[in-house]
Amino acid sequence: MRRTLLEAVGLHRAYGSVRAVDDVSFSLAEGGSLGIVGESGSGKTTTARIVVGLERADSGRVLVHGRERTDRRRGRAQRLARAREVQMVFQDPYLSLDPRTTVYGALRETLRLHFPEADHPRRIAKLLDQVGLGSREAEALPRQLSGGQRQRVAIARALAVGPAVLVLDEAVAALDVSVQAQILNLLSDVREQTGIGYLFITHDLGVVRCVTDDVIVMRHGRIVESGPTAQVLAGPRHPYTRLLLESVPRPGWDPQGIAAARRAL
């Protein structure tokens, strides 16, 4: 049985009277892949930002390998160690990459910050190979790359610090379907090679079906359903989960009917 890698316990986050995250708990096993699914406003991205440390929960705990992440240690070394545990890949990598810095330079800066004594050229070459990029892309600026190539750079930069968990927030949503498949295959290969754990934040049930072992469904900040991905998608118990599945476009799909059903929930 695989050990628990990541655990969230009773997370709460409110903005005024709005409960963005309301008593959310889940766990991720070592080498596992967990999807958090929901529409805009469901609380899935706020949950992800709390896990990474970009936002602070009002209450609750996040643990990696049983160690508290919501503990705010002040030393620089401790902060860097905490940052290395969990890394995040965003939907639009162009916004998180310095437009004036080459791919090689971006990876080198990350390594300099976390591993100043490491053999940076060798590590960068390995990272680029791992995500399917070469020397030509290494010398390119972000604007000279395609969307898929930029996302590969973002993944390489996140992997550079050797995280235990990679949080992917709609990481393939902005890509063409064929490029999505390439990135998802890449991520599957990386997980198999490294044993890293994934937390996928998405509204796309196709992504969830392809790359996650387990899934939780969120609505209005709360978890309404959870379980093994295949089981939840094959036999959803909650009306909202069934509605999400019915919202996937297919022959005979009725968007007006789906919208009416959503309002009735």
Range of the domain at 263: 236-265
Q: What is the largest CA-CA distance in the chain?
A: 60
Confidence at residue 108, expressed as pLDDT on a 0 to 100 scale: 95
Q: Which amino acid is at 123?
A: R
CATH number of domain containing 59: 3.40.50.300
**Which segments of the chain have a pLDDT < 70?**
1, 70-74, 248-265
Threshold 0.85, pTM exceeds: yes
Specify if 158 maps to a domain: no
Q: Judge if 170 and 263 occupy the same domain.
A: no
Total domains, the chain: 2
Specify if 154 maps to a domain: no
